[in-house]
Amino acid sequence: MLTEETNTSSWMSRRIKNDEIVKYMDHGRDFIDDVLIERQLAEAPKEPDPRQVREILAQSMAIKDLSPEQVAVLINVRDPGMLEEMRDTALRIKLKIYDNRIVTFAPFYLGNYCVNRCSYCGFNNDNCDAQRKVLSPDEIRREISVLAGEIGHKRLIVVYGEHPKNDVDYIIESLKTIYSVRVKTRNGHGSIRRVNVNAPPFCVEDLRRINEAGIGTYQVFQETYHKETYARMHPAGTLKGNYNWRLYCMHRALEAGIDDVGIGVLFGLYDWRFELMSLVYHTQELEKRLGIGAHTISFPRLVPALNSAIPADWPYLVNDEDFKKIMLIIRLAVPYTGMIITARERADIRDEAVRMGITQMDASSRIAIGSYSGGTTDAVTVQKEDRQQFILGDTRSLDELIRDLARMGHITSFCTAGYRCGRTGKCIMDLLRSGTEGKFCKLNAVLTFQEWLDDFGSEEARKAGEPLIDKEIAQIKEKNPKALDIFMDYHRRIKTGERDLYL
């Protein structure tokens, strides 16, 4: 009889398919050229000429990607006045493309077994203090009852470790379970309508199967693009130790028919300037080779984890000011991309991020396995180091976040229409670049916001949200009159209890 250890080793030995790396490489070279990036950073002007910076900002404002050399110039801007101009441009771009919408979602960890040994992660295989668990179908249903029936989420990012217990069959079955749950709410029913997936790199065939289960964006973060640091953080001999298998996962995902891919970096592992340049290279490579750039970019920042090997005086930890600059530059460099800031960050940083071009935020987040339904009411604030990957910085509930966003003039969108109407991949990229995507999204954002307020909003949230909806309706009347009749019909039907209407 085979032991579990032998089974796991044999599973690991079948995972990486070298031909699915090599085929995308350019004469054996990958697209992250460390020497070139270091040179571009070194050669950028130390005190950029304001005229040059303004030319770059004008290019961003015209929704054109920046070159890595231009990004290197922006990285060196320190003058407070110029930084203010960058902030102003980033916000204007965000409003031009995405308007005043913030899309919300919840993270949902389904298992924390992992064969890897990443130095910075509490789930690493060497961490004997971590309590391991994989959710059963019944447990998933209980979690979704809370997420969709009590909190009111419509979108999830589901997270899986790399382990045979969380392999492709488990992922597909868990997605089916998630989509099958319908829960009665105050005035209608709640369900999860779009599941984005954050999972390990798979081969094309497995990615195709995952796509067929009906997913939104597939996310794999490179963590660090710097090869030496990557090798130091991800020991050789582990699956994650293979830099290029991870680097080319998004190529494989697009080839497998997944239209929307999300990339990211764990900022703080290496010099943020290098990582930022690499993110730009990555999205441009995807666009050049496969016709579709990154649908979303995420930029988690390194925070403490149980038994992490990263010392407190690690030289690359990113301070708040640099972190804000990173967000600004991503918005300017890749103007069309969705930008996600998670509850890893403190509430004050996330509020500021809203004014810098962010498009997606989570709320009411609980990242200990099984803690949406298994916790006490305290579970959102009492965090469990031995059951979660990191400690959250923003523990606001969705209701609180919605009120705070409404006070800042932002609508919280639960829209999942684009994905269900085929507005994905190249189609959504073209709509975003031309600034026409906002027309559909504004309407659907208002409809879904109304639905959430009616089904889940506290009295306070309704008081903050309803005047915003009135203002939005007045704007639709003025700027999109052709859509007014159908919009008002859908809005009336939602007010009388119909659910999940979209344009």
Q: Applying CB under 6 A, which residues contact ligand SF4?
A: 114, 116, 118, 121, 123-124, 161-162, 240
24 or 123: whose CB is closer to ligand SF4?
123
149 or 161: whose CB is closer to ligand SF4?
161
113 or 456: whose CB is closer to ligand SF4?
113
250 or 417: whose CB is closer to ligand SF4?
250
114 or 175: whose CB is closer to ligand SF4?
114
Buried b (16+ CB within 10 A) or exposed e, 211-226: bebebbbbbbbbbbbb
Sign of dihedral through CA atoms 470, 476, 478, 483? negative
5 or 378: whose CB is closer to ligand SF4?
5
Minimum CB distance to ligand SF4, residue 391 (Å): 15
Minimum CB distance to ligand SF4, residue 123 (Å): 4
Give CA separation, 195 vs 28, 171, 190, 295, 460, in Å: 35, 11, 14, 15, 29
159 or 292: whose CB is closer to ligand SF4?
159
Minimum CB distance to ligand SF4, residue 124 (Å): 4
119 or 211: whose CB is closer to ligand SF4?
119
Minimum CB distance to ligand SF4, residue 372 (Å): 19
CB atoms within 10 A of CB 482: 9
2 or 128: whose CB is closer to ligand SF4?
128
DSSP assignment of 79-112 equals: -HHHHHHHHHHHHHHHHHHHTTEEEEEEEEE-B-
266 or 411: whose CB is closer to ligand SF4?
266
Q: How far, in whole angstroms, is CA 499 from its chain's centroid?
A: 26
Q: What is the rounded distance in angstroms from the CA atom of residue 395 to the CA atom of residue 402? A: 13
Minimum CB distance to ligand SF4, residue 198 (Å): 9
Q: What is the rounded distance in angstroms from the CA atom of residue 465 to the CA atom of residue 412? A: 9
Write down the residue that tokens 């999109």 correspond to.
480
Minimum CB distance to ligand SF4, residue 107 (Å): 13
Minimum CB distance to ligand SF4, residue 252 (Å): 17
Q: What are phi and psi of 113, to 5 degrees?
A: -75, 140
Write down the residue that tokens 């990555």 correspond to.
282
Q: How far, in whole angstroms, is CA 403 from its chain's centroid?
A: 22
Minimum CB distance to ligand SF4, residue 171 (Å): 14
Residue 493, C-beta contacts closer than 8 angstroms, at least 6 positions apart: 501
80-98 helix and 50-61 helix, angle to the nearest 10 degrees: 10
Minimum CB distance to ligand SF4, residue 240 (Å): 5
Buried b (16+ CB within 10 A) or exposed e, 415-435: bbbbbeeebbbeebbebbbee
Q: What is the rounded distance in angstroms from the CA atom of residue 357 to the CA atom of residue 337? A: 10
**CB-CB contact of 227 with 305 (8 Å):** no
Minimum CB distance to ligand SF4, residue 367 (Å): 12
Q: What are phi and psi of 298, to 5 degrees?
A: -115, 150
124 or 371: whose CB is closer to ligand SF4?
124
71 or 306: whose CB is closer to ligand SF4?
306
Give which of 488, 452, 476, 433 is closest to 189, Cα–Cα. 452
SS (H, E, C) 117-181: CCCCCCCCCCCCCCCCCECCHHHHHHHHHHHHHHHCCCEEEEECCCCHHHCHHHHHHHHHHHHHC
Minimum CB distance to ligand SF4, residue 217 (Å): 18
Minimum CB distance to ligand SF4, residue 130 (Å): 10
Write down the residue that tokens 């994650």 correspond to.
240
